[in-house]
């Protein structure tokens, strides 16, 4: 899920990936991922149209606080969140002089490539310690939501599928297709017009969808997600006892 802009209008788009690795446009609303009400409206609409709530799902999002809160309110503990690693890098680099951006970016990517959540966490915290004295803003940005950048590592997702799920690139690529469809529009006459163009553009873009990289690894991901339910059930029984 991610937002994009058509003229002066911001649109939030949801893209789904099914068990076979096929992509599906799930919905679009006018508004930003920072707005909890907008995000809740989109998610509520998906549920009304048949998206089940009581199943563990992986949500890949940017750092929008409104979107994250809305996911928690609608799906509760059934939602696992993967924060976009590309957005996280951009956010950290905004607090650094250009001369230090390259090595910090490389260090973050090396951490996420560590092969385990524990290894990645350790490397990212070491990096945060190195930055703390001279760049406390970068340190705070790096540590904020750090655990949610490690979700795919905790799930044991294979390298190819992890490349797909580590960022919001799949939906951003879809939005770029939408902008190409609407590139000749010079004047937007309100949000309704933007939504109509968005719906048409998304439908057109979906004709060229291909299965995501690493789709053969999706059964393992589903098994890992389903195991989360079993673990939570065991924990609840222990607490009750």
Residue 241 has pLDDT above 50, yes or no: no
Residue 206 has pLDDT above 50, yes or no: yes
Domain enclosing residue 132, as ranges: 85-167
**Average pLDDT for residues 145-160, to the nearest whole number?**
94
Mark whether 12 and 53 lie in a shared domain: yes
Mark whether 78 and 91 lie in a shared domain: no
| C-alpha to C-alpha distance for 66 and 68, rounded to whole angstroms | 6
Residue 68 has pLDDT above 50, yes or no: yes
Residue 77 has pLDDT above 50, yes or no: yes
Mark whether 115 and 160 lie in a shared domain: yes
Mark whether 162 and 175 lie in a shared domain: no
Pairing relation of β-strands 23-30 and 57-61? unpaired
Other C-beta atoms closer than 10 Å to the C-beta of 207 total 7
**For residues 91, 34, 11 and 82, what is the CA-based torsion angle, rounded to 10 degrees?**
60
Do residues 91 and 63 touch, judged by C-beta distance below 8 A?
yes
- What pLDDT, on the 0 to 100 scale, is given for residue 229? 62
The pLDDT-based confidence of 196 (bands split at 50, 70, 90) is confident
Mark whether 64 and 179 lie in a shared domain: yes
Mark whether 77 and 175 lie in a shared domain: yes
Do residues 96 and 135 touch, judged by C-beta distance below 8 A?
yes
**CATH at residue 70:** 3.30.420
| C-alpha to C-alpha distance for 88 and 112, rounded to whole angstroms | 12
Tokens of 111: 């951490």
Do residues 4 and 13 touch, judged by C-beta distance below 8 A?
yes
Indicate the number of domains in the chain. 2
Residue 71: burial class (beta carbons within 10 Å; 0-12, 13-18, 19+) = buried
Mark whether 112 and 9 lie in a shared domain: no
Mark whether 76 and 180 lie in a shared domain: yes
Beta-carbon contacts of residue 208 (< 8 Å; ≥ 6 apart): 177
| C-alpha to C-alpha distance for 24 and 202, rounded to whole angstroms | 10
- What pLDDT, on the 0 to 100 scale, is given for residue 127? 97
């Amino acid at each position: 899920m991610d937002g994009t802009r058509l003229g002066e209008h911001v649109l939030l788009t949801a893209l789904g990936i099914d068990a076979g690795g096929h992509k599906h446009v799930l919905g679009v609303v006018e508004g930003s991922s920072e707005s909890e009400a907008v995000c809740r409206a989109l998610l509520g609409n998906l549920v009304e149209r048949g998206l089940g709530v009581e199943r563990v799902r992986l949500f890949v999002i940017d750092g929008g606080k409104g979107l994250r809160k809305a996911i928690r309110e609608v799906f509760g503990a059934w939602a696992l969140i993967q924060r976009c690693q590309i957005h996280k890098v951009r956010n950290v680099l905004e607090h650094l002089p250009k001369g230090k951006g390259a090595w910090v970016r490389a260090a973050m990517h090396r951490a996420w490539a560590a092969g385990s959540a524990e290894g990645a966490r350790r490397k990212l915290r070491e990096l945060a310690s190195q930055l703390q004295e001279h760049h406390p803003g970068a340190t705070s940005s790096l540590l904020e939501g750090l655990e949610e950048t490690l979700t795919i590592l905790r799930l044991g997702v294979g390298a190819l599928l992890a490349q797909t799920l580590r960022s919001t690139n799949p939906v951003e690529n879809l939005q770029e297709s939408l902008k190409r469809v609407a590139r000749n529009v010079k004047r937007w006459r309100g949000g309704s017009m933007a939504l109509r163009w968005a719906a048409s553009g998304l439908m057109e873009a979906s004709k060229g969808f291909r299965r995501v990289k690493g789709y053969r690894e999706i059964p393992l991901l589903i098994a890992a997600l389903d195991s989360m339910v079993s673990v939570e059930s065991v924990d609840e029984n222990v607490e009750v006892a």
